[in-house]
Every structure is written in C-alpha cells, then in structure tokens.
C-alpha cells in the first residue's frame, strides 16, 4: 500500500532539516495512514478491500515488530524506506543532515560491514577482532570511546556508501519509533545476552552485553534516558500468555518471537526499569566436540553418552552463563529415539523440538494461569519416558524432581545453580523440609540423595572459557552426610582425567541398555579406565 494520497497533510519535505523533525514527520505519516478512511475515494471494491487488508497487515506488524518478530520489523522498515526515498527525497546530497557522526554511528557502520560479511555472527566477529584483548586483560571490561577510536582509527565518513547510510538512517528511525532503541540492531545477532538499566553514570544508562560468559559494558552506546528503557521494557512484554507488567507485578519473564528469554523488571520492585535478554542458539545439531574440547575430551564425551544411555539421574550444575543449558541440550542426542521426552521450563530455552526434528518431544512452561506444580503434574499424563527440567530453582520443582525420580519416568535430566555436589544435595533436602513434606532431616536427606545420581559441574574461568570441572557419582551411604561423592572424571589445566571407576550399579545399567553392537566398546572403555587412574598407567 502506497503512502501517496494519504500523507499530503503531513509535514512537507522541504521543512525537514534534522533527524528529530524527520522522525516526527514519519511518525505522523504512519498515524495518518492508520486512521484514514479507505472507504472514501474512487476505488473499485477489490482494490479497496486490498488496501484495507494491507493496512491491517501493517497495523499487526507495528504491534509485533518490537518483540523479536523479524518479519514484522522488515515489513515496517520497508515502509520507512519508501517514505525516505519517495516523499522526503533523501539523497546522497542531503543525507548528512540526518546522520550525526558520533561513536554510535561509527559503531553501527562497522557493525553493518561485519554483518554483511558474517551474517548474524557479525557482532561476535567484530568483538573478537577489535575488543577481545580488553575482555581478556582488563578487569573492568569496558568498551569506551577511546577503545572505539583505537579500533576503528580515523573514521572516514566518505568511505560509507549511500545505500549503507540509507540503511543506517532507516534503522535509526525505526528503532526510535517502534523498535527497541539502540539495542534494536543487536537483538537479531548471535550474542549470549543484552541488558539495560543495570548501571547509571549521572543518570545515563549504557548497553551491557554478555559475550562468551563475560559481562561487557558498551559505555559509548547510551540509552536516551530511562524513558527509552521503559519503552523497550514494554515492547519486550508484548508476548502471549505472560500477563501484564504493573506496580503490583513488578517483574515478568517473556519469550520473544526469536526464542530469546527476556526478564523485565520495574519499580517499585526494582530501583529502575531494567531488562535482561538471554539469547539461545538454535542450531539443529549441537556437536559435543564443539562444546567439550581439550586433551582427553573424547573420553568425557563417551562417558556422557554412557550415563544417558544408562538412564542415570543427571544434574548439570554451575553458575549462570557457564553453559549448563547448552550442554544439557547436546546430551539429548544420546537419548534413544524410542524414548518420549517431556520438558518443563520457566520459559522456553532448550527448544529441543527445533533442534531434534522428528523426535517425540513436548515442552511446557509456567504461565499466569498455570502454575509450575499444575504444569508438572500434567506432564505425568503425557506418555513421557524422559523428563527434562530446564532448571530446578523452586521448592515445587524440587518436590516434582523427587517424585519423578521415584517412579514417574525412566530417568531425569535437570540443571541447577549449585556450586558443588554437597550444595546441590543440601538444597534438595532443605526444600523438602521447608515445604513440610518431610519432618525428619535424615529421611529428607535420603530422598535428596536418591533423586540424583550424577553431577556434571561446569565452570567458567575469568576469560569466559567454559569447561566441565568434574563429573561425580553420588553413592548413598549410612554416614552422617548420607552420600559419598565419587569423582569419576575431572579437568586440570585444560586436560580431562579419568579418576574413579563407575559403580557396579551404573556399569550394569549401561551394559543392559546399550545396543548389542556397542557393548564390546563399553567393555573396552571400562578396561581402559581400570588401566588409567589420574592420567597415569596402572601396572
């Protein structure tokens, strides 16, 4: 649908002298277009209906473009581009009036060049090339204007082509109108996370990135005050089934259209409006060899496969951003195809159905109308063989974990933020006691120990490198602690070492469930383990 015939009363092109007036004029054009009476005019009925349909399509795109819907964003930007070229006659001679040559502009020009070369990996590649040394060596990990100057040198405005400038101008108008402000061009790109409203320098908020597990401040990229952050937060909340963000309900966890998780908070619950976007890579196949690297990694990959095939109750623990979700998703490939998988999460993060097409997989999440306990109870009635809990972070989730560990499914995989195996067991025990399900601490401890058999603990070092610190088997015993932690593999100086052998119970469970043509390989693996202890050959 063309803007011709509908925008004559808007601001004339010759009165547009800077970016702010151009932005306001385009806002007015969209407002007029959505309000005009399309039943008036010399149009045939077919053409009139087509125009009405196109307008409703635009209205829907304007409603959804800010919550991660890339198709809607492209649709809206196409209208903006048409306005810029056809109505406002933006050309190579006058485009400089609307683009300020500041740090934000320099960053966007170079980012667009990297996106053109590397696609959605453009931001990661740009940081890797120009700023990785800051992240590795600097304690503060701040990319400021000085770092930007060192990276890009003396910036030549003339080296940017007119089409590139036009794309940047269109994006800038879009992000200030219906998009997500200065972070809008970053949202579709591969990066661990993006946050805003988390730090203030004299009332000025800058953008923060999570890059390979490291929090990095882009101090040169600042929001236009808290009002812009508030608008972005409200944009991110436009997701189905999550309820309304209000003073009474001060936080919301939303799933964006691209599968990202947005955690949004506002006053009075939070001291300011803030958002935390967690990005999840949606590759169909997550190769273990890309996740677990280093000397001896092949033995760890085999071990993980045997633990999954042996239907062990496995916990993946570690701090936030250490890679628990990534490892858990990759381990799913070891689950035999004939087992049905049921996933329960606070928000959809694993996206196993997209990663493993053709598998019998259904995921559930908590909503405003369905609490976690109701949802977990429902999953028992869905023909599931394997239960995956995205994160055991509530007492209700702990209770469900204990229940399904006893009789509900073949085995369970879950993640938790515990710093070690003892902390994990104590968290489960304490949650059972606090809910009143158990009054005897020893009985609660026994239940906790029986609900998890293997703990895979992941660590992230100061440079953002992620690795499995150790894999432990939890053996129930009559001692005061209630269990013995047997470290079966660990990492030292980047090398994976096999330590204690698997228990007889686990070895038998794996052997019984392995296909007949793989049992001989498993026996060889165990014999190799018996010959090598702590990286040394045992004679």
**pLDDT of the residue at 425:** 93
Residue with tokens 């710093």: 419
Beta carbons of 347 and 253 less than 8 angstroms apart = yes
Beta carbons of 81 and 166 less than 8 angstroms apart = yes
CA distance 352 to 350: 5
**pLDDT of the residue at 241:** 47
Bridge partners (DSSP) listed for residue 200: 205
Strand 314-317, strand 411-416: pairing: parallel
**pLDDT of the residue at 312:** 92
**pLDDT of the residue at 498:** 87
Bridge partners (DSSP) listed for residue 364: 344
Multiple choice CATH, 293-533, 3.40.190.10, 3.20.20.70, 3.40.190.290, 3.40.50.300: 3.40.50.300
Enumerate the domain spans of the chain: 19-87, 98-278, 293-533
The model's pLDDT over 411-452, given as tens digits with 9 standing for 90+, comes to: 899 999 999 999 999 999 999 898 877 788 888 899 899 999
**pLDDT of the residue at 539:** 47
Multiple choice CATH, 98-278, 3.90.550.10, 3.60.15.10, 3.30.450.90, 1.10.3080.10: 3.30.450.90
Low-confidence residues in the chain, pLDDT < 70: 1-14, 37-49, 51, 154-158, 200-203, 239-243, 281-286, 407-409, 462-463, 532-539
Contacts of 281 (CB under 8 A, 6+ apart): 190, 326
**pLDDT of the residue at 282:** 60
Burial of 8 (0-12, 13-18, 19+ CB in 10 A): exposed
H or E element: which one contains 177? helix 162-177
Helix, strand, coil percentages, rounded to 5, for the chain? 45, 20, 35
**pLDDT of the residue at 381:** 82
Length of the chain: 539
**HEC sequence for 244-291:** CCCCCCCEEEEECCCCCEEEEECCCCCCCCEEEEECCCCCCCCCHHHH
CA distances from 299 to 262, 466, 532 (A): 37, 17, 12
Please report, in angstroms and rounded to a whole number, the separation of the first and last CA atoms in the chain.
Answer: 81
């Amino acid at each position: 649908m063309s803007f011709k015939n509908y925008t004559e009363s808007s601001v004339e092109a010759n009165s547009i002298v800077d970016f702010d007036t151009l932005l306001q004029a385009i806002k007015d054009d969209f407002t007029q277009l959505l309000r005009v009476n399309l039943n008036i005019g010399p149009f045939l009925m077919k053409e009139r209906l087509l125009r009405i349909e196109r307008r409703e399509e635009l209205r829907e795109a304007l409603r959804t473009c800010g919550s991660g819907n890339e198709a809607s964003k492209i649709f809206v930007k196409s209208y903006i581009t048409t306005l810029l070229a056809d109505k406002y006659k933006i050309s190579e001679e006058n485009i400089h009036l609307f683009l300020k040559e500041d740090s934000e502009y320099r960053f966007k020009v170079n980012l667009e060049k990297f996106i053109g070369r590397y696609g959605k990996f453009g931001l990661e590649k740009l940081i890797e090339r120009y700023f990785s040394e800051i992240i590795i060596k600097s304690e503060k990990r701040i990319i400021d204007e000085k770092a930007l100057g060192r990276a890009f040198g003396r910036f030549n405005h003339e080296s940017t082509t007119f089409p590139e400038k036009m794309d940047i101008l269109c994006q800038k108008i879009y992000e200030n109108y219906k998009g997500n402000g200065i972070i809008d061009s970053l949202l579709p790109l591969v990066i661990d996370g993006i946050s805003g409203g988390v730090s203030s320098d004299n009332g000025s908020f800058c953008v923060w990135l999570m890059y390979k597990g490291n929090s990095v401040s882009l101090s040169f990229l600042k929001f236009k005050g808290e009002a812009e952050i508030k608008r972005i937060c409200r944009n991110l909340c436009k997701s189905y089934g999550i309820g309304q963000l209000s003073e009474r309900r001060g936080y919301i966890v939303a799933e964006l259209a691209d599968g990202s998780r947005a955690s949004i908070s506002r006053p009075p619950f939070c001291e300011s409006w803030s958002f935390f976007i967690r990005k999840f890579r949606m590759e169909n196949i997550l190769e273990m060899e890309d996740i677990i690297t280093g000397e001896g990694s092949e033995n760890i990959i085999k071990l993980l496969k045997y633990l999954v095939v042996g239907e062990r109750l496995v916990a993946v623990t570690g701090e936030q951003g250490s890679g628990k979700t990534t490892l858990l998703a990759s381990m799913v490939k070891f689950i035999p195809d004939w087992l049905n998988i049921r996933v329960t999460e606070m928000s959809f993060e694993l996206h196993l159905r997209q990663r493993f097409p053709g598998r019998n997989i259904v995921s559930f999440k908590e909503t405003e109308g369905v609490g976690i306990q109701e949802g977990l109870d429902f999953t028992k009635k869905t023909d599931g063989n394997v239960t995956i809990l995205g994160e055991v972070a509530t007492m209700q989730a702990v209770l469900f974990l204990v229940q399904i560990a006893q009789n509900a499914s073949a085995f369970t995989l879950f993640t938790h933020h515990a710093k070690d195996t003892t902390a994990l067991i104590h968290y489960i025990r304490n949650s059972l006691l606090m809910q009143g399900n158990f009054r005897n601490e020893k009985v609660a401890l026994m239940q906790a120990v029986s609900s998890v058999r293997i703990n895979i603990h992941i660590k992230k070092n100061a440079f953002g490198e992620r690795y499995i610190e150790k894999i432990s088997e939890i053996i129930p015993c009559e001692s005061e602690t209630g269990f013995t932690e047997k470290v079966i593999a660990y990492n030292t100086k980047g090398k994976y070492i096999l330590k204690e052998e698997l228990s007889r119970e686990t070895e038998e469970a794996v052997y019984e469930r392995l296909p007949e043509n793989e049992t001989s390989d498993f026996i060889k693996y165990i014999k190799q383990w018996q010959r090598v202890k702590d990286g040394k050959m045992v004679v």
